[in-house]
Amino acid sequence: MKIAVISDIHANYDALLALPGGYDELWVLGDLVNYGPQPSEVVDYISQRASLIVRGNHDHCIAYGEDPRCTPRFRAMATATRKITEQMLSESQKRYLHDLPLRADTQRGNTRFCLLHSVPSDPLYGHYGETSDRWPAESESAGADVLFVGHTHKPFLKQIDGRTVCNPGSLGQPTHGNPEACYALWEDGQIELKSFAYPVEETVRKIFAMPVEEKIQRELAKVLRKGKA
């Protein structure tokens, strides 16, 4: 069995469409919306194809009207695109985001999985990088063999006391140092971090057509082109 695990799509439909196929299941770690130009298309695609999905802080922002608590670097971009996202999504799409769970637990064969946008202690907003000393406690509290998390937009894979923690990175707004979209592939007990090229300039063109001020457009385009904040 092959399972593709993606996170932080951020309304980047071009990257989502370019995701390599051949997998049996698609798991999504949240943040379908905000920042990007096509939130409606992304929500429809994921709602029709994902086997498991959890709610991210930006999904929560749109569905519940709460602050996504972005870093200062991204706050202005999130605020500007939030208004556009709210206008583009239908009421049924917003309800879909509203009803997404914060956590998903499942098992395939003998392997137990826990899916979160962030971490067990703070599933929407906890922001722990690969080297954080919080991972032993967080992975133990998950109660699973494999813990999949997103939120930071930076991929990593680590073993802790017989458990695996994997962040697939961001599909739609990667900040790992290059513009390639990131994801993870679980196949018969093995996890591989992967990336692929997608038509970045097509997404940038759509961003410059969004009704937000030019400064925001330039900032969003810069992140996608450089793959870093």
Tally of domains in the chain: 1
Percentage of residues in the chain with pLDDT exceeding 90? 97
d(CA 215, CA 43): 27
Is the predicted pLDDT of residue 180 greater than 90, yes or no? yes
User: What pLDDT shows up at residue 73?
Assistant: 80
Cβ neighbours, 10 Å, residue 55 = 26
pLDDT tens per residue, range 97-125: 999 999 999 999 999 999 999 999 999 99
Nearest to 8 by CA among 42, 32, 27, 44: 32
| Backbone torsions φ then ψ of 219, nearest 5 degrees | -65, -45
User: What pLDDT shows up at residue 72?
Assistant: 82
Q: Please report how the helices 57-64 and 91-99 are oriented relative to each other, as an axis angle in degrees rounded to 10.
A: 130
d(CA 29, CA 118): 8
State the chain's mean pLDDT as an integer: 96
Cα Dmax for the chain? 51
User: What pLDDT shows up at residue 124?
Assistant: 97
pLDDT tens per residue, range 197-209: 999 999 999 999 9
**Domain limits for position 9:** 2-226
Nearest to 41 by CA among 68, 14, 4, 80: 14
pLDDT tens per residue, range 33-76: 999 999 999 999 999 999 999 999 999 999 999 999 988 888 99
CATH (domain of 72): 3.60.21.10
The one-character DSSP state at 54 is -
Single pTM value for the model: 0.97
